[in-house]
Amino acid sequence: MQRIVYLERDSVIAEVRRPAFAHEWTEYASTTPAQVIERLAGATIAIINKVPLPAAAVDALPDLKMVAVAATGTNIVDLDACRARGIVVSNIRGYAEHTVPEHVLALLLALSRNLVAWRETLQAGRWQQSDQFCLFDHPIRDLHGATLGLIGSGSLGNGVVRLAEAFGMRVLRAERKGATTVRPGYTAFVEVLREADAISLHCPLTDETRGLIGEAELRAMRRSALLINTARGGIVDEVALIQALKEGWIGGAGFDVITAEPPPAGHPMVAPELLALPNFLLTPHVAWASRPAMQTLADQLIDNIEAFVAGAPRNRVA
């Protein structure tokens, strides 16, 4: 009998079917890090999303056989500790291949066409007081003919490429930072920084990608360039980003992720003066969260668990 414990049921709004094998099912709306070991005691399968599963927790759970991550990112799990114990870790793949790219394009369009600034202009009564039919207060740029730099690929990056090319954008796929050779179809990292009118991030958060975009990279970008991050907050140095926005190193930024979620009081990325900037858009980690995408995630989550119990684990990261 498998004992399944779902630690963060409220993190997905979807119907989650029960697995087609004998099991016990326990779920919690949410779980704090301090509650993980107690709630997973005796569990053979843990379903988690964002609550961390560090090595200390893995070592304290002798019955655990599988960790089913209800997301693509697995940086919250100590994979080495799981591998040492022979614990299978599976994640979700491909479920957001439409919703995240659409969010990326929405941020690009809003920033390129200065939608926030135009809204503020109307709220100030400028159009109502105009002596002609339109205003020219804020510049508008087309995506057509612009260059998009893509850092990271996979299904989400490929989805962005599909939509960007439909808008008539030129896409440059960035080679890994610091690579000594450039693969066919890729462009050197530093060249992408210099040439792109917009850069979109789609890589996982790892030791290699943490702080991937810092002061040097932001200063290397065009002063009109846009930076879009729907991946993970830690990929960008937030202190450098805030300085870049305030001092005009880049043209603007659209983010769906930050380093602490939810942000604690005083987090610099939600400071009122930053959120008031018309060239900065921040959404609360919702790029993935369309209803169809969440249902696909939920279905794949149970598929992963059933595959593990059948002896043929899928979507393994450990």
Catalytic residue list contains 138:
no
Q: Find out whether 109 and 143 touch, Cβ atoms under 8 Å.
A: yes
Cis peptide before 262 (omega within 30 of 0): yes
User: Which of the following is catalytic: 261, 273, 291, 316?
Assistant: 261
CA pair distance 200, 209, nearest whole angstrom? 14
| CB within 8 Å of 242: residues ≥ 6 apart | 268, 269, 271, 274
**Rounded distance between C-alpha atoms, residue 65 and residue 273, angstroms:** 47
What six digits make up the tokens of 47? 């379903």
For 53, the token pair is: 């599963």
The verdict on whether 17 is a catalytic residue reads no
Catalytic choice (98, 173, 176, 232): 232
The SS3 call for residue 193 is: helix
Catalytic residue among 285, 306, 314, 316: 285
Report d(CA 116, CA 182) in Å as an integer.
Answer: 38
Among candidate residues 51, 56, 45, the one with its CA nearest the CA of residue 4: 45
In the three-class reduction of DSSP (H, G, I as helix; E, B as strand; rest coil), residue 184 is classed as: coil
At residue 48, the 3 state secondary structure works out as: strand
Grouping H, G, I as helix, E, B as strand and the rest as coil, residue 272 is helix
The span from the CA of 116 to the CA of 282, in Å, is 12
Q: Residue 24 catalytic?
A: no
Backbone region of residue 189 per phi and psi (left: phi > 0; alpha: psi in -120 to 50; beta: other values): alpha
Q: Where do we find the tokens 């339109």?
A: 134
Q: Which residues touch 256 (CB under 8 Å, ≥6 apart)?
A: 103, 107, 229, 230, 282, 283, 284, 285, 286, 287
Active site residues: 232, 261, 285
